[in-house]
Amino acid sequence: MERNPLTNQLIANVTFSNYPYAGDRQPRCDETFDFRFPGLRFDAAHQTFFARTGHNEWIPVAEWRSNIPYGG
């Protein structure tokens, strides 16, 4: 997971792999995709992402925690 510092958009980086099934006939294949969540609101004071419900309420869905050793 990462947060775009310019837009505060939450981005999930997901890698799909056939690693458990790879072999001589089927080479390993890893594909990475970015899933962006543009409808979320980021509260910088609480480092929390919120989503709007069907009743027009904001609920917390993710908390941002910096990962300093890995650059995040």
Give the residue with greater pLDDT, 67 vs 27. 27
Task: Kindly list the distances between the CA atom of residue 21 and the CA atoms of 16, 17, 25, 32, 66, in Å, as whole numbers in the listed order.
Answer: 12, 9, 10, 18, 34
Give the per-residue pLDDT at 68.
58
Give the per-residue pLDDT at 35.
93
Task: Please state the pTM of the whole predicted model.
Answer: 0.63
pLDDT digits (tens, 9 = 90+) for 2-20: 888 888 888 989 999 999 9
35 token code pair = 């899933």
Give the per-residue pLDDT at 9.
87
